[in-house]
Amino acid sequence: MFSNLKRISTLMLLASAASPVLAAPAPVSDLNSSNSSLSSSVSGGSTVERLERLIQNSNLVQARMQQQIDSMSQEISDLRGQIEKNNYDMQQMVTRQRELFVEVDKLREQVNSQPAQVAADSGNSDASDAGTYSTNATEQEAYQNAVDLILKKRDYNGAIAAFQQFQKDYPDSSFTPNSHYWLGQLYYAKKQDKEAVKSFAAVLTYANSNKRPDALVKLGDIAQRNNNAAQAKKYYQQVIDEYPNSSSANLAKEQLK
């Protein structure tokens, strides 16, 4: 019995000595630490790459948006410029129409007083100056048709063609100086200054034409419009010197102020 008790005691001592070794935990924290560090480095690298890609994509989007904004700004600028040009062209057209309406009113007055003027021209002018007046109905009709294209139909291009044809058909008509004058007026209103100068200059060759002082004023106006002040002054002064008591002289004086 004593020997059995001794054996049991010995086994108990051996068991108690081995238990600390068996109970000691494995170095799990070190292993977890290593795995955590590796995982962190891998996941961290992926996040940086994703951020870089996001930044790159954002830059690309911003660049494209800026290009679109620049393109739209240029289009708006072009449209604004076109609108300004259209407004300017419209104002010029309105001005030309206004000038032409003024000349049409003058033409209406001229037509209304035409019989008296024709009689005066035929009685006071040489054949070389005023031409030979004819009572030919066809001639008068041709001239009246050209006038009607302005007054009634407002077909100014048609009127130009009609007056040109009239001059070819009736070169010696007493209406010829007037046809040159009204051609000049039509060209002047259309800003075709070279043609206007030719027509008004043709009027000047008829020394006794009642349209000569007006033609001189218009030549001065054309010179002034083309920034030739010296030439304009010359024409205005010529009107004042040759026709001092005329309404044309008064217009010339106003232009010289």
Mean pLDDT of 170-196: 92
* Average pLDDT of the residues of the chain: 75
| Residues 92, 180, 102: CA angle, nearest 5 degrees | 40
Residue 66, pLDDT > 90, answer: no
Report pLDDT for 102: 62
Give the residue, 116 or 10, on which the prediction is more confident: 10
| Residue 9 burial by Cβ neighbours in a 10 Å radius (0-12, 13-18, 19+) | exposed
Q: In which band, very low, low, confident or very high, does the pLDDT at 174 lie, cut at 50, 70 and 90?
A: confident
Question: What share of the chain has pLDDT > 90, as a percent?
Answer: 37
- In the chain, the N- to C-terminal Cα span, in Å, equals 157
| Residues 201, 207, 212: CA angle, nearest 5 degrees | 55
Q: In which band, very low, low, confident or very high, does the pLDDT at 46 lie, cut at 50, 70 and 90?
A: confident
In angstroms, rounded to a whole number, what is the distance separating the alpha carbons of residues 176 and 202? 10
Report pLDDT for 106: 60
Report pLDDT for 62: 86
In angstroms, rounded to a whole number, what is the distance separating the alpha carbons of residues 219 and 232? 7
Mean pLDDT of 194-200: 96
121-141: buried (b, 16+ CB within 10 Å) or exposed (e) per residue? beeebeeebbbebeeeeebbe
Structural domain boundaries in the chain: 211-257
Report pLDDT for 153: 84
Lowest mean pLDDT among 33-37, 48-52, 78-82: 33-37
Helix (H, G, I), strand (E, B) or coil at 113: coil
Give the residue, 63 or 201, on which the prediction is more confident: 201
Question: What share of the chain has pLDDT > 70, as a percent?
Answer: 63
CA within 13 Å, CB half, 219: 24
Q: In which band, very low, low, confident or very high, does the pLDDT at 229 lie, cut at 50, 70 and 90?
A: very high
Residues in the chain: 257
Helix (H, G, I), strand (E, B) or coil at 27: coil
Q: Which residue has the tokens 């009685």?
A: 123
Mean pLDDT of 84-106: 64
